[in-house]
Amino acid sequence: MISFTSTTIFYLSLAFFINLLYSFLIAARFSNLLTYFQERMSILHSFYVFCISKCGALITPFLAGSLLTKPLACKHYGNIPLPKGLFLTLLEQVLDFGILIILLPILLLFLGTYFFALYLQIFFILFLLAFVLFVLIKHELFITFIWKFKNFVPKILLKFGKKRGITQENTSESLKQIKESLTNKRFLLSLIPYIFIQIILMPFVLYFVVKAFSFNLGYSQIFLTYWASTALGKISGLPGGFGSTDLTMGGLLFLFRIGTLEATSIILAFRIITLAPALIIGGYLTFYLSALYSLKKIK
């Protein structure tokens, strides 16, 4: 078990700081997206929106929570029309998924040396590409599937969103607009710095958590462990990737000669640090905004 020495606290504090920096990086990326589409929101308010959206994603499968909470938060903090907020929410989700699409074939090739034969690696990569093509071509079916999970979202948010036009039809229309936006080279080039830093930065959270437990793994091993578990967690569709992300991360840590008890402690510490902004800030703001608009409705 971990002993809270000054060194341990130092490394855990570094992990917390890197995660907070990463959260503000995502907020800056979203603020940049808004500017490109002629909207404005400060990075601080974008950070609030990120926390609220992540909190919603923790309690709902797939994208159901984000599809409702993020457009509503954008409306509150940036006076952004809800249909446009829905479009931007989907666009950002597509970008995050695109990062995993780029990384996953590389990760599978490295993981394959430990777990899979070459033909299985090829199968997984082809399956992933086929899934992406299916989503792009048959996006109506994909949106219909995701929308089935709306019952996991608080009813007050469902009613509020429906009243202001956040519907399955508008979601499908937003996905069509996203396909058009992703063909714009200027738009994609403006996001490359954010995406590059995002890919490099986030594994450092896990790196410092592992250091806090007095283990020394190279950055390449940490990079593989973080992004492989994140990718599988995202693809699983489970709320927050719980279970799939944790089991993958634990298996890889065990592969790198970290014991089961220590790996479990590392995963727990990593989860607490990475979920703190969503649970504390996002949870509070979600409750606050729900209460605020409930009172306005009563009045």
The answer to whether residue 85 is domain-embedded is yes
Count of domains in the chain? 1
pTM: 0.78
- Read off the pLDDT band of 119 (50, 70, 90): low
Q: What is the pLDDT of residues 242-279, one digit of tens each?
A: 777 888 899 889 888 899 899 999 999 999 999 999 89
- Tens of pLDDT, residue by residue over 5-64, are 888 899 999 999 999 999 999 999 999 989 888 899 999 999 999 999 988 888 776 666
Residue 151 scores a pLDDT above 90: no
Burial of 194 (0-12, 13-18, 19+ CB in 10 A): middle
Distance CA 293, CA 172 (A): 27
**Domain-located, residue 1:** no
Domain of residue 37, residue span: 6-298
Instruction: Judge whether 25 and 202 are in contact, CB under 8 Å.
Output: no
The C-alpha atoms of residue 162 and residue 216 are separated, in whole angstroms, by: 51
- The answer as to whether 179 is a domain residue is yes
Residue 166 covered by a domain? yes
Q: What is the pLDDT of residue 28?
A: 94
